[in-house]
């Protein structure tokens, strides 16, 4: 073995140091022949005969040299280096072609890498725990709400003890930690004691939690993540026994948990997109609060049990919970527990929101890659045709066909590798920007979302794979062309005509590009249209120029004090130049906070099984003015309503539902669990509440100058004045106490943040759609330019025989027209199908519309015209005399 | 060397340069022989190849293997059928 390696190493070295040994070798051979000749001479042959005989006996020096050269170095490596050198030279001779190709590949491979590096950890990568494939999670979904994985500890105990299909069931819940002075907030999770054992996660130091840590009233124990151990304790053993302090607003006081172990390095929790530093035992929850604590559930299927079985069993077990809840709220009848795989981790708002869009994005970039390959393949083929003569010469000089194919493929690989390397760099930036967009919209519940995009082996493998595949795909056609090149005919024809099969193939590539980019553009038009629709769809308020501030109002002891503070702050805010109106409210649209209650109305009998809650908000006077929501009937709240608090304003949707054909003004309604009625004093226009995608729900606006605890202030401003927000913040802090202002944002930002997935898709699909159209245009342009170049002689003859410039340009344009038409013919059904598919993966997206496809086609035609114009012009500029003389 | 092999084998094995030199080269690359430039008795420059210690060991091993093979083959072929 070692001998074989030694041989290989020497050959490798010899590959790079060549010249002196070759000369030595040749001398040795010559001496060998001389020796034979001497020997023969001694036997009496004449000098000439001896020399002849010796050469015959020894064999040809040149052949032996060649053989020895093969043995001396590594032949394939030498060939590869030679091909690469040649390839670099060839590419440098055509700088524009090379630049366009590499830019295309960089974009395509970069986009794929960026998308993959996001999609993989979020959706596909298995968690680093024992047998992740058998892990499942439970979710349920209240109508109109996102899916939730929240159950009470009692539910957990019941399911765990009564289910038969699971070998383990664990409960876990994120704690809402706050940053204590000078420290980042800790990503802390409360977990049941069997968490680590069920997952098969071992301690790197100390021990992991176990069931004995669950004892009610027991001291809270903690296991820290490897990363946190390194960051906070420098990876030292003294971490064991240290105290980690966790502050959660919902708990009466800070939790002091004792660190008993460090989890193995690979394990960083059950969710990909949330920071996880510490896992604490159930002891963290005071016994009194246990009945109210909610946990997410995760279970491991017994060997052989299927998800369908688990789902069926859990629906039975969960029925009593649903029945209990449905007695108060019949909407619960529509809720059924679902069991889904958790092999890639528990779903989070991030995976729920972006799972669909990211998969679509992945599909889009894969299509883009195909398009890029078709494009480059076409360009290479056209170039290869003009290199036919060069190939023919080389074949005539003895180059093997496979050797030619190898050389062509090496050139493709060279292009793809440069594109891949640049793409990898670009993907790092792209992915960072993508994560920033993705996390910009999520309201943080629990640990702050943290999405890390590692440049790891999987991403690298993916990129290399994509690069090789791309090189193969776009290099295939030129390689085949090189293989079948017939030297004699190519040389004779002087590169004049092209073979029919090659022409058909080249045309086919352009048709495919037109078709694919039509589909791509249609999908992007669909998303852009949808986003525009969401933005324009009457929100019911004017989203521009409204400043939002969340204010901690706990300084006020009672209602009267709060009212005084409110009046003070409103008056002073009004004094700031540029502030037109000010209002306070319990929540602001699209903020994520919400309240709801059942409503009882005299003379309106709601069927018991279909009772639905109405949405609630508490607002101050001028709220509707500030938001630009019209008051359709009645009046706005007044300061004096302070004394008569049981008056409400409702929106149109509520009036339509509960008072069809009647005047709601002056009528009385009852809110759930309240004895005294409210009187309706006004009807406001419909406005979006918490989801731009849904129509406005029925809303009850109650009166409050400001709400206790915390409240939102909204300021309508005129013009954009820098520093206005800072002025307002200082002023509010002045009134309510230092640091009482929390989040400051604008209404427009808040609305946009609620539709990040749509914006992400529209932006990226739009970008890639445009790139796709550009590629198709380049492909069309390349093919036509090439065709015109090859037909120069033909055009010259035609013009010499009296064809007008108009006729010639018609001839060129007609062939282009055919290509584009066939592309559209094939592309239209593809586009129809892809838009339908794309629409299905995004919620509330109208499908089956022709508008996106039509606008995409229009855009493509415009681009095609430009691509056709230049080659056509060049064709008409052909001077017959010059064209014919070129022969 | 070619002549010597031809002589020893009784003319059955004839090596021309195309066979001899790549073989020698492979042996040299594997570190079993080492070639040095020298001068022959007839005062002519030539390259001399000698076995290295590793080469000797390898030769012994190959011989053993070959003998084993021959013995085995003989045993099989001489088996009365």
What does the DSSP assignment read for A9-70? HHHHHHHH--HHHHHHHHHHHHHHHHHHHHHHHHTT--HHHHHHHHHHHH--HHHHHHHHHH
What's the pLDDT score for residue A714? 92
List CB contacts of B28: < 8 A, sequence separation 6 or more. Answer: B34, B35, B49
Name every chain A residue with its beta carbon within 8 A of the beta carbon of B3. 39
- Point out the residue among B21, B32, B45 whose CB comes nearest to the CB of A64: B21
- Give the DSSP H or E segment for A585: strand A579-585
Q: What is the pLDDT of chain B when averaged over all its residues?
A: 79
User: Is the C-alpha dihedral spanning A602, A143, A297, A438 positive or negative?
Assistant: negative
CA within 13 Å, CB half, B46: 14
C-alpha span between A447 and A296 (Å, rounded):
14
Mean pLDDT of A820-835: 87
Closest chain B CA to residue A14: B29
Report chain B residues whose CB lies below 8 A from the CB of A63: 18
Please state whether beta strands A647-651 and A678-684 pair in parallel, antiparallel, or not at all (unpaired).
parallel
Res. B63: pLDDT tops 80: yes
Answer whether A557 touches B (CB < 8 Å).
no
Q: Nearest-CA residue of chain A relative to B24?
A: A68
Task: Name the residue in chain B with its Cα closest to that of A4.
Answer: B30
Contact state of B26 with A71 under an 8 Å Cβ cutoff: yes
Nearest CA in chain A to B54: A3
pLDDT for the residue numbered A295:
87
- For residue A446, the model assigns a pLDDT of 41
Do B21 and A11 make contact, defined as CB atoms within 8 angstroms?
no
- What pLDDT score was predicted for residue A262? 92
pLDDT value at A682 more than 80: yes
Cβ–Cβ below 8 Å for B21 and A67: yes
Q: Which residue of A has its CA nearest to B43?
A: A35
Chain A, residues 44-73, CB within 8 A of chain B, namely 57-61, 63-64, 67-68, 70-72
Size of interface A-B (CB pairs under 8 A): 58
Any B CB within 8 A of A34 CB: yes
> Residue A75 CA to chain centroid, in angstroms?
44
What does the pLDDT look like over A654-677, one tens digit per residue? 999 888 888 888 888 888 778 888
Q: What is the pLDDT of residues A858-872, one digit of tens each?
A: 888 888 888 788 777
Cβ distance B25 to A68 less than 8 Å, yes or no, reads yes
Residue A571 makes CB contacts below 8 A (sequence gap 6+) with: none
Instruction: Write the pLDDT tens digit of every residue in A244-270.
Output: 888 776 777 778 888 999 999 888 888
Q: Count Cα neighbours of A55 within 13 Å in the Cβ-side half-sphere.
A: 9
CA A536 to chain centre: 25
Cα-to-chain-centroid distance, residue A67: 54
Distance CA A585, CA A684 (A): 15
Q: Which of A8, A9, A10, A75 to mutate to test the interface with B (most CBs of B within 10 A)?
A: A10
CA distance to A610, A789, A818, per residue, from A792 (Å) = 77, 5, 20
User: Has residue A334 got a pLDDT over 80?
Assistant: yes
Give A665-694 as a 3 state SS string: CCCEEEECCCCCCEEEEEEECCCCCCCCCC
What is the mean predicted confidence (pLDDT) over A772-792?
Answer: 78
Cβ–Cβ contact A20 with B under 8 A: no
Q: Could you give phi then psi for residue A274, rounded to 5 degrees?
A: -120, 145
Q: Is the pLDDT of residue A357 over 90?
A: no
Q: Tell me if B44 and A57 make a contact (CB, 8 A cut-off).
A: no
A6 touches chain B (CB under 8 A): yes
Among A6, A58, A72, select the one facing B30 at the smallest CB separation. A6
Percent of chain A with pLDDT over 70: 90
Mutate to test the interface with B, among A39, A58, A63 (most CBs of B within 10 A): A58
The answer to whether ipTM exceeds 0.85 is no
What does the pLDDT read at residue A493?
54
Q: What is the mean pLDDT of residues A425-430?
A: 87
The confidence band for A707, taking pLDDT boundaries of 50, 70 and 90, is confident
Query: Contact B44/A72, CB-based, under 8 Å?
Result: no
DSSP secondary structure string, A395-461? HHTT--HHHHHHHHHHHHHHHHHHHHHHHHHHHHHHHHHHHHHHHHS----SSPB-------HHHHH
The pLDDT of residue A20: 60
Residue A384: pLDDT band (50, 70, 90) is confident
Residues A628 and A608 sit within 8 Å (Cβ to Cβ): no
Under the banding of pLDDT at 50, 70 and 90, the label for residue A188 is confident
Cβ-based neighbour number of residue A790 at 10 Å: 18
Write the residue in A6, A32, A39 that is nearest to B31 by C-beta.
A6
Query: Which residue in chain B is spatially nearest to A72 when comparing CA positions?
Result: B25
Report whether A177 contacts A447 (CB < 8 A).
yes
Quick: pLDDT tens for A389-401: 777 777 777 777 7
A21 close to B (CB below 8 A)? no
| Helices A388-396 and A349-386, packing angle to 10 deg | 70
What pLDDT is recorded for position A684?
92
Q: What tens digit of pLDDT does each residue of A799-825 get?
A: 888 888 888 888 878 888 888 889 889
CA distance A863 to A855: 12
Which one, of A397, A417, A390, lies nearest residue A84 by Cα?
A417
**Distance from A32 to chain B by nearest Cα, in Å?**
8
Mean pLDDT over the full length of chain A: 82
Chain A nearest C-alpha distance from B46 (Å)? 7
Other CB atoms within a 10 A radius of the CB of residue A590 amount to: 23
Q: Is the pLDDT of residue A683 over 90?
A: yes
pLDDT bin (cut points 50, 70, 90) of residue A447 is very low
> Closest chain B residue to A9 measured between Cα atoms?
B29
- On whether any CB of chain B is under 8 Å from the CB of A13, the answer is no
The alpha-carbon radius of gyration of chain B (Å, integer) is 17
- pTM score: 0.74
**Range with the largest mean pLDDT of A143-147, A385-389, A684-688, A747-751:** A684-688
| Lowest-pLDDT choice from A45-59, A177-191, A532-546, A777-791 | A177-191
Q: Which two tokens stand for residue A192?
A: 């049941």
Task: Identify the closest residue of chain A to B38 by CA–CA distance.
Answer: A28
Interface residue of A21, A36, A59, A69 to substitute, partner B, most B CBs within 10 Å: A59
Q: What is the pLDDT of residue A583?
A: 92
Q: Which residue of A has its CA nearest to B22?
A: A68
* Size of chain B, expressed as the number of residues it contains: 81
Q: Do A64 and B54 count as a contact with CB atoms less than 8 A apart?
A: no
pLDDT band at A496 (very low <50, low <70, confident <90, very high): very low
* Residue A623 pLDDT exceeds 90: yes
Nearest CB among B17, B22, B58 relative to A71 is that of B22
What is the band of A386 on the pLDDT scale with cuts at 50, 70, 90?
A: low
What whole-number distance in Å separates Cα of residue A344 and Cα of residue A378?
40
Residue A594 — pLDDT band, cuts 50, 70, 90? confident
Q: Do B32 and A3 touch (CB under 8 A)?
A: yes
| φ/ψ (deg, to 5) at A580 | -90, -45
Question: Residue A671, exposed/middle/buried by CB under 10 A (0-12, 13-18, 19+)?
Answer: middle
Contact A375, A508 (CB under 8 A): no
Q: Rounded to an integer, what distance in angstroms lies between the CA atom of residue A665 and that of residue A680?
A: 5
Q: Is the pLDDT of residue A567 over 50?
A: yes
Q: Which residues contact A690 (CB under 8 A, 6 or more apart)?
A: A589, A590, A591, A592, A593, A594, A615
Q: What is the pLDDT of residue A177?
A: 67
Tell me whether residues B21 and A4 touch, CB distance under 8 A.
no
Alpha helices for A120-221 (secondary structure H)? 153-162, 195-199
Query: Which three-class secondary structure state does DSSP give residue A742?
Result: strand
Contact state of A35 with B46 under an 8 Å Cβ cutoff? yes
* Residue A504 main-chain phi, psi, to 5 deg: -60, -45
Rounded CA gap, A599 and A423, in Å? 58
Tens of pLDDT, residue by residue over A458-488, are: 888 888 998 888 888 888 877 877 777 666 5
Interchain proximity A31–B44, CB inside 8 Å:
yes
Q: Are the CB atoms for A853 and A832 separated by under 8 Å?
A: yes
* CA distance, residue B74 to nearest chain A CA (Å): 30
Mean pLDDT of A275-296: 79
Please say whether the dihedral angle defined by the alpha carbons of residues A474, A480, A482 and A483, taken in this order, is positive or negative. positive
Distance (Å, whole) CA A75 – CA A873 = 49
User: Per-domain residue ranges for chain A?
Assistant: 2-73, 132-343, 351-536+756-885, 546-748
DSSP codes of every residue in A285-336: S-GGGGGG-EEEEEEEEPTT--HHHHHHHHHHHHHHHHHHHHHH-GGGGG--
Structure tokens at A31: 């001496």
Residue A350: is its pLDDT beyond 80? no
Name beta bridge partners: A258.
Answer: A221, A243
In chain A, which residues have their Cβ closer than 8 Å to the Cβ of B56? none
- What are A538-556's pLDDT values in tens digits? 788 888 889 998 888 877 7
Long-range contacts of range A851-859, CB-CB < 8 Å, 24 or more positions apart?
A851/A525, A851/A529, A852/A522, A852/A523, A852/A525, A852/A526, A852/A529, A853/A518, A853/A522, A853/A525, A853/A828, A855/A525, A856/A518, A856/A521, A856/A522, A856/A524, A856/A525, A856/A769, A856/A831, A857/A518, A857/A824, A857/A828, A859/A521, A859/A773
Q: How big is the CA angle at A825 (ends A836 and A365), to the nearest 5 degrees?
A: 50
With CA atoms as reference, the chain A residue closest to B35 would be A28
**Beta carbons of B17 and A4 less than 8 Å apart:** no
Please name the residue of chain B whose CA is at the shortest distance from the CA of residue A25. Answer: B21
With contacts defined as CB-CB under 8 Å, which chain A residues touch B30? 3-4, 6-7
Return the top range by mean pLDDT from A29-43, A168-182, A446-460. Answer: A29-43
Q: Are A331 and A142 in contact (CB under 8 A)?
A: yes
Q: Which band of pLDDT confidence, cut at 50, 70 and 90, is reported for residue A650?
A: very high
Q: Give the integer Cα–Cα distance in Å for A828 and A853.
A: 7
| Residues sharing a CB contact under 8 Å with residue A18, sequence separation 6 or more, in sequence order | A73
Q: Distance from B70 to chain A by nearest Cα, in Å?
A: 24
pLDDT of res. A581? 92
Tell the residue number behind the tokens 């292009």, with chain if given.
A415
Select the residue from B2, B6, B18 to test the A interface by mutation, using most A Cβ atoms within 10 A: B18
Quickly state the pLDDT bin for A49 (edges 50, 70, 90).
confident
Report chain A residues whose CB lies below 8 A from the CB of B15.
none
Q: Any CB–CB contact under 8 A between A32 and chain B?
A: yes
Distance CA B37, CA A25 (A): 11
**Cβ contact, residue pair A31, B29, below 8 Å:** no
In this complex, the residue of A10, A39, A64 whose CB is nearest that of residue B17 is A64
Residue ranges of chain B whose CB lies within 8 Å of a chain A CB = 3, 16-18, 21-22, 25-26, 29-32, 40, 42, 44-47, 54, 58
């Amino acid at each position: 073995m070692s001998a074989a390696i030694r041989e290989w190493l020497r050959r490798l070295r010899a590959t790079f140091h060549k010249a002196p040994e070759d000369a030595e070798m040749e001398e040795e051979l010559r001496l060998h022949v001389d020796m034979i000749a001497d020997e023969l001479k001694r036997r009496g042959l004449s000098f000439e005969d001896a020399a002849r005989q010796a050469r015959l006996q020894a064999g040809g020096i040149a052949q032996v040299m060649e053989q020895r050269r093969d043995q001396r170095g590594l032949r394939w490596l030498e060939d590869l280096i030679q091909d690469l050198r040649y390839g670099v030279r060839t590419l440098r001779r055509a700088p524009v072609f090379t630049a366009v190709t590499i830019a295309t590949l960089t974009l395509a491979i970069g986009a794929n890498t960026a998308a993959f590096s996001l999609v993989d950890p979020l959706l596909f990568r298995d968690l680093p725990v024992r047998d992740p494939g058998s892990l499942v999670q439970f979710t349920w979904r209240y109508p109109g709400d996102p899916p939730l994985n929240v159950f009470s500890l009692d539910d957990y105990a019941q399911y765990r003890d009564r289910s038969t299909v699971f070998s383990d069931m664990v409960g876990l819940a994120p704690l809402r930690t706050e940053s204590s002075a000078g420290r980042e907030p800790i990503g802390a999770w409360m977990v049941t004691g069997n968490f680590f054992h069920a997952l098969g996660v071992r301690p790197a130091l100390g021990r992991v939690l176990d069931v004995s840590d669950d004892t009610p009233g027991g001291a809270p124990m903690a296991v820290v993540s490897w990363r946190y151990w390194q960051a906070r304790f420098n990876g030292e053993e003294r971490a064991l026994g240290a105290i980690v302090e966790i502050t959660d607003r919902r708990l009466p006081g800070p939790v002091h948990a004792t660190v008993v172990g460090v989890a193995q390095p690979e394990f960083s929790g059950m969710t990909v997109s949330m920071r996880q530093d510490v896992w604490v035992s159930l002891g963290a929850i005071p016994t009194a609060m246990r009945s109210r604590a909610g946990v997410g559930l995760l279970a491991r299927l017994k060997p052989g049990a299927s998800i369908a079985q688990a789902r069926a069993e859990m629906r039975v077990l969960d029925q009593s919970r649903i029945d209990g809840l449905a007695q108060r709220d019949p909407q619960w009848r529509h809720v059924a527990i679902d069991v889904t795989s958790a092999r890639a981790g528990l779903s989070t708002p991030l995976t729920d929101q972006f799972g669909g869009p990211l998969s679509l994005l992945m599909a889009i970039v894969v299509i883009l890659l195909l398009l890029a390959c078709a494009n480059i393949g076409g360009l290479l083929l056209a170039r290869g045709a003009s290199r036919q003569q060069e190939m023919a010469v080389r074949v005539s000089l003895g180059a093997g066909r496979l050797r030619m194919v190898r050389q062509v493929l090496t050139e493709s690989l060279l292009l793809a590798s440069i594109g891949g390397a640049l793409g990898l760099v670009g993907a790092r930036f792209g992915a960072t920007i993508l994560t920033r967009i993705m996390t910009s919209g999520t309201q943080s519940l629990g640990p702050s979302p943290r999405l890390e995009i590692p440049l790891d082996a999987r991403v690298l493998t993916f990129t290399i794979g994509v690069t090789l595949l791309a090189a193969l795909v776009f290099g295939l056609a030129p390689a085949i062309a090189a293989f079948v090149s017939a030297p004699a005919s190519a040389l004779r024809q002087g590169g004049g005509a092209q073979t029919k099969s090659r022409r058909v193939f080249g045309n086919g590539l352009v048709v495919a590009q037109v078709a694919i980019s039509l589909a791509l553009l249609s999908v992007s038009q669909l998303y852009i249209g949808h986003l525009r629709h969401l933005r324009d769809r009457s929100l019911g308020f004017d989203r521009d120029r409204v400043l939002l501030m969340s204010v901690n109002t706990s300084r006020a002891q009672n209602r009267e004090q709060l009212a005084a503070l409110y009046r003070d702050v409103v008056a002073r805010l009004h004094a700031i130049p540029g502030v037109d109106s000010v209002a306070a409210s319990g929540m602001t649209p699209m903020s994520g906070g919400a309240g709801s209650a059942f409503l009882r109305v005299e003379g309106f009998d709601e069927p018991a099984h279909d009772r639905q809650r109405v949405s609630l908000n508490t607002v101050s006077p001028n709220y509707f003015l500030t938001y630009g929501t019209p008051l359709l009937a009645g009046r706005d709240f007044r300061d004096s309503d302070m004394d008569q608090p049981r008056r409400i304003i409702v929106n149109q949707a509520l009036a339509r539902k509960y008072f069809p054909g009647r005047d709601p003004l002056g009528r009385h309604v009852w809110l759930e669990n309240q004895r005294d009625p409210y009187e309706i004093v006004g009807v406001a226009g419909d406005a979006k509440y918490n989801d731009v995608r849904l129509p406005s729900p029925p809303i009850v606006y109650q009166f409050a100058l400001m709400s206790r605890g915390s409240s939102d202030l909204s300021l309508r401003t005129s013009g954009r004045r820098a520093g206005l927000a800072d002025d307002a913040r200082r002023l509010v802090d002045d009134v309510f106490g230092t640091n009482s202002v929390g989040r400051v944002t604008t209404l427009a930002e808040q609305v946009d943040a609620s539709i990040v997935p749509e914006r992400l898709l529209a932006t990226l699909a739009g970008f890639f759609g445009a790139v796709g159209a550009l590629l198709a245009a380049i492909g069309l342009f390349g093919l036509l330019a090439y065709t015109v170049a090859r037909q120069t002689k033909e055009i010259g003859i035609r013009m010499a025989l009296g064809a007008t410039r108009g006729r010639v340009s018609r001839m060129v344009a007609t062939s282009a027209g055919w290509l584009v038409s066939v592309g559209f013919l094939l592309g239209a059904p593809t586009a129809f199908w892809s838009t339908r598919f794309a629409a299905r993966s995004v919620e509330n997206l109208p499908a089956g519309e022709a508008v996106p496809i039509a606008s995409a086609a229009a855009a493509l035609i415009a681009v095609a015209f430009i691509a056709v114009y230049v080659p056509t012009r060049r064709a008409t500029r052909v001077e017959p005399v010059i064209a014919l003389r070129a022969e | 060397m070619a002549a010597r092999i031809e002589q020893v084998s009784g003319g059955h094995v004839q090596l021309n340069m195309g066979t001899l030199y790549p073989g020698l080269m492979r042996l040299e690359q594997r570190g079993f022989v080492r070639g040095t430039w020298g001068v022959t008795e007839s005062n002519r420059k030539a390259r001399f190849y000698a076995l290295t210690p590793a080469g000797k060991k390898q030769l012994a091993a190959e011989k053993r293997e070959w003998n084993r093979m021959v013995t085995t083959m003989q045993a099989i072929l001489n088996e009365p059928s």
